[in-house]
């Protein structure tokens, strides 16, 4: 039987069907392999971000079976199949970020960076620094007064706070944005930079107040306490290190001073066995979030003549700003003015034989030039219109006697604004025939040397600090704009130190009488 086959006819290809590309599948695989690196980086960044939110790191908790690190040795062997490309996901990707620490407690939320900065300056300082660096510090304060107005006002008012500086938006590549990075090394550098930035901000804020206290210490012979109580307190400090058993509690009250980074902190740091209290009224700025020395307490009151302490409580009460805080009118419901009320309250809180230290500044500038005279007269006139006493030092001693204080010791001081700057000498066209010696005209002495003119920078720092605080406080009460609180002050200091201008100041102490039946025994 014969079989015949017909010829196979080829079906013509239609024009509407696209031609099959044999390399299309391989092209897709190549594209997927190229995007694996970028995808792995994105997945790692997302995992790190979610770990930071939940305070856990799921990347570190994964086991070896689900690890994203795929190695060639872990791939199964497949026979008769083309070799596949093995990609290491971990290589070239950022390391996962460690879990975030828990939030601090309410007690730990009080930042101690100001106290640490204060201690750092104290540890690096030496006793003669207030005298040796007075001219440079005076020029630095003048620079703050003219250039960093907002920071200088905060220092004068005792407003210490950490504010993040405003920065322009980042305009570079997104992959290199340091503020949005999640890479561990970048975050560590960012945290270190933020820490250093905060420390520099703190040092810039507290340096002026510490310079003013160094000037006060230099004028008082190296001491912050001027009354005889200083020797007794220093003696108890030495005896406290050798004696055991109960010790007598010594308390010092700083009335109206700044609660942070000023006089009270210096005394608390110098006498750790003494309890120091700072009392502020409603017009003063107090940052309760600043953590200071352990033996220092801050108390805010509505009025300085109503102190929340029992009678015979303090060994020393000191004040340096009553002229800027008290008025000469009588408060509602009282028949005495604020000065007499405060002195009566201080006498009540002092222990028998305790000391009341004072320092008052007059508002008017002595020996001033034309501009300084006009500004000081205007300042004194506004003080009188608001019931302040621009010359409280003239009546303060009689107030002390009338309120029962005895043993009054006082000193009238004139505080020059500063030393007149030396005029620069024009450069010589030819070199000098002989190099001048820097030591021929000096005597061999031990310690810092100088003249009474050199102390003008010290008095200018202290007097300027007290006078500017008073001026800024009054202008704030008058509702003046913040950027105008220091208008004309820089010119007053420039003119004043050229003319030998300054302020009149009254400093001293008084004592509470001892009771006849009670004997005050100092350790």
Q: Which residue has the tokens 């006082």?
A: 410
pLDDT on residue 369: 83
Token representation of residue 459: 């008095």
pLDDT on residue 405: 94
162 belongs to a structural domain: no
Q: Phi then psi for 470, rounded to 5 degrees?
A: -65, -45
CATH number assigned to the domain comprising residue 333: 3.40.50.150
Structural domain ending residue among the three candidates 62, 97, 132: 97
Same domain, 228 and 364: yes
169 belongs to a structural domain: no
* H or E segment and range at residue 43: helix 24-54
Same domain, 254 and 400: yes
250-255/314-319 β-pairing: parallel
67 belongs to a structural domain: yes
Burial of residue 287, with CB atoms counted within 10 A of its CB: 0-12 exposed, 13-18 middle, 19 or more buried? middle
Q: Angle at the Cα of 234 (from 400 to 240), degrees rounded to 5?
A: 125
168 belongs to a structural domain: no
pLDDT on residue 186: 67
Same domain, 253 and 369: yes
pLDDT on residue 56: 45
350-361/502-511 β-pairing: antiparallel
234 belongs to a structural domain: yes
pLDDT on residue 82: 45
Same domain, 213 and 356: yes
pLDDT on residue 451: 62
Written as tens digits, the pLDDT of the chain (523 aa) is 554 545 545 555 555 545 556 666 777 777 777 676 677 777 777 776 666 555 444 444 444 443 333 333 343 443 444 444 444 444 443 443 333 334 333 333 355 888 888 888 898 888 888 888 888 889 899 999 988 898 899 888 888 888 777 777 767 666 666 556 666 776 777 777 778 888 888 888 898 999 999 999 988 888 899 999 888 888 877 665 555 545 668 899 999 988 888 899 999 999 988 999 999 888 887 777 788 898 999 999 988 999 999 999 999 999 999 999 999 999 888 889 999 999 999 999 999 999 999 999 999 998 888 888 888 889 999 999 999 999 999 999 999 999 999 999 999 999 998 887 777 777 777 776 766 665 555 555 555 555 666 788 899 999 999 999 999 999 999 888 888 888 888 889 888 888 888 999 999 999 999 874 444 444 3
Q: Is the full-model pTM beyond 0.75?
A: no
Token representation of residue 354: 């305790």
Same domain, 213 and 85: no
Same domain, 76 and 215: no
Structural domain ending residue among the three candidates 97, 116, 146: 97
pLDDT on residue 517: 46
Total domain count, the chain: 2
Q: Could you tell me the residue range of the domain that residue 84 belongs to?
A: 30-97
- Cβ-based neighbours of 454, under 8 Å, separated by 6 or more: 131, 134, 135, 419
Structural domain ending residue among the three candidates 82, 97, 112: 97
- 241 SS3 class: coil
Same domain, 319 and 455: yes
* H or E segment and range at residue 251: strand 250-255
320 belongs to a structural domain: yes
pLDDT on residue 403: 92
Same domain, 351 and 473: yes
Looking at the chain, how many residues does it have? 523
70 belongs to a structural domain: yes
Same domain, 212 and 93: no
400 belongs to a structural domain: yes
Distance CA(91)–CA(85), nearest Å, equals 15
With beta carbons less than 8 A apart as the criterion, state whether 497 and 419 touch: yes
Long-range contacts of 183-188 (CB under 8 A, 24+ apart): 183/94, 183/95, 184/94, 184/95, 184/96, 184/97, 184/98, 187/97
Burial of residue 372, with CB atoms counted within 10 A of its CB: 0-12 exposed, 13-18 middle, 19 or more buried? buried
């Amino acid at each position: 039987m014969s079989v015949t086959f017909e010829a196979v006819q080829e079906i013509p290809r239609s024009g509407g069907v696209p031609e099959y590309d044999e390399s299309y599948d391989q092209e897709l695989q190549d594209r997927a392999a190229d995007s694996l690196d970028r995808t792995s980086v994105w997945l790692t960044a997302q995992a790190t971000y979610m770990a930071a939110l939940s305070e856990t790191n799921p990347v570190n908790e994964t086991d070896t079976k689900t690890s994203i690190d795929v190695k060639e040795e872990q791939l199964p062997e497949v026979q008769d199949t083309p070799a596949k490309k093995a990609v290491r996901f971990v290589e070239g990707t950022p390391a996962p970020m460690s879990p975030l620490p828990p939030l601090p407690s309410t007690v730990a939320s009080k930042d101690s960076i100001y106290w640490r900065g204060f201690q750092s300056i104290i540890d690096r300082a030496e006793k003669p620094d207030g005298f040796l660096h007075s001219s440079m510090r005076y020029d630095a304060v003048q620079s703050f007064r003219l250039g960093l107005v907002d920071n200088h006002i905060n220092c004068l008012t005792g407003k210490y706070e950490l504010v993040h500086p405003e920065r322009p938006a980042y305009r570079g590549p997104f992959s290199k944005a340091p503020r949005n990075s999640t890479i561990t090394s970048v975050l560590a550098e960012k945290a270190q930079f933020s820490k250093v930035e905060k420390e520099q901000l703190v040092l810039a804020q507290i340096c002026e107040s510490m310079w003013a206290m160094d000037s006060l210490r230099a004028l008082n012979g190296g001491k912050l306490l001027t009354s005889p109580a200083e020797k007794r307190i220093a003696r108890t400090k030495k005896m406290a290190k050798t004696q055991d058993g109960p010790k007598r509690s010594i308390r010092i009250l700083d009335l109206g001073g700044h609660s942070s980074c000023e006089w009270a902190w210096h005394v608390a740091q110098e006498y750790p066995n003494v309890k120091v209290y700072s009392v502020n009224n409603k017009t003063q700025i107090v940052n309760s979030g600043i953590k200071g020395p352990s033996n220092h307490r801050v108390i805010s009151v509505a009025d300085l003549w109503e102190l929340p302490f029992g009678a015979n409580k303090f060994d020393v009460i000191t004040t340096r700003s009553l002229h800027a805080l008290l008025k000469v009118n009588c408060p509602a419901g009282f028949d005495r003015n604020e000065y007499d009320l405060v002195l009566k309250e201080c006498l009540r809180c002092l222990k028998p034989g305790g000391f009341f230290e004072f320092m008052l500044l007059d508002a008017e500038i002595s020996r001033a030039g034309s501009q300084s005279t006009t500004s000081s007269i205007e300042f004194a006139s506004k003080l009188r219109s608001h019931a302040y006493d621009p010359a409280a030092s003239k009546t303060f001693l009689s107030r002390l006697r009338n309120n029962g204080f005895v043993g009054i010791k006082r000193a009238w001081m004139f505080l020059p604004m500063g030393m007149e700057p030396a005029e620069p000498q024009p450069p010589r066209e030819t070199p000098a025939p002989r190099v001048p010696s820097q030591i021929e005209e000096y005597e061999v002495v031990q310690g810092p040397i100088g003249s009474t003119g050199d102390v003008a920078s010290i008095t200018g720092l202290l007097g300027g600090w007290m006078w500017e605080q008073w001026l800024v406080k009054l202008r704030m009460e008058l509702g003046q704009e913040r950027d105008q609180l220091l208008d004309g002050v820089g010119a007053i200091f420039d003119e004043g130190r050229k003319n030998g201008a300054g302020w009149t100041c009254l400093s001293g102490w008084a004592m509470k009488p001892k009771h006849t039946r009670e004997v005050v025994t100092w350790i």
